[in-house]
Structure 1
């Protein structure tokens, strides 16, 4: 199943390290950083799980729930968490899905046969409070994710939703944003009384404090 931006994230109920969850109920009203890793007790995955845990406060202040997944069991996850906490100097609290039967991995197209027939690649789904998929990223098994970028795109999505603007390349909070081409100058004058810099008729930068 190929999931696209704008699709409703499929629901599922499954066991995790924090007990059984119904995904839509668990995520209700929150943003979700849903990500898969190839396997427990592997080096790159250990650093990624540790980094997610270290950033717990950053995710929380954005209203984001992290949710990990691999095709290992709950017991395997729980044993591995001790290693993560020890080696990455953290205290991992977010749930990790135990998808031994690969049901959720297949539902979210996380298994890419060119990488592995059984283990998940490093998929990322940013899902909004309405259960809509807003961003996807896929990393190969040997390459760890860039967590600065994950937080940046969450910031950009949330800011864009709040202010009805577009975010330029490399945008970070505090940078200028772009007035969408679908907004006329008359409407823009009402929405953005602070004005804008018009580089081209279709390229209007404004600053939102």
Structure 2
């Protein structure tokens, strides 16, 4: 049985994760590349004018160094959010009709089109499940079709990041044959179950194309 899943406190989790990452992210990778003299790849550039999503820009270029105490507060916040999300997941038992909570979440791999090389501006698609310690499995489904995937007219955006995601898709010609996928997300420690459910979903998708 499939039931609708309502996103729960995604923005709070992302903000918390950015706070943790920004505690030493720039110093971390700049110190490593200084050993070899290699340049930063474009998606990790420290140029504040890069067309990055707002939260990622804050992570790459933190306004100031974070103290140990500040990092601890972010980590405490992450623990609180994990507990709240666990309670929310358990509450889905009221919707399934089986007395059990949902086994996994099925959703898009990311909230934007697959970016061409050098144009990836956000790590948000990895932040949520990394922060909650949930295993996630990516499944290829189809590819961008220039005839089907036309640019939709502008609409009311939920946030600056939502508008940035919309603007990334400049047209189907640039993204022709780019991969489109789903992800299966499970509970902490249930990696094998996620793989098994992914196999079931993958088989169903392939059967539907026959």
TM-score by length of 1: 0.26
Larger strand proportion, structure 1 or 2? Answer: 1
TM-score by length of 2: 0.26
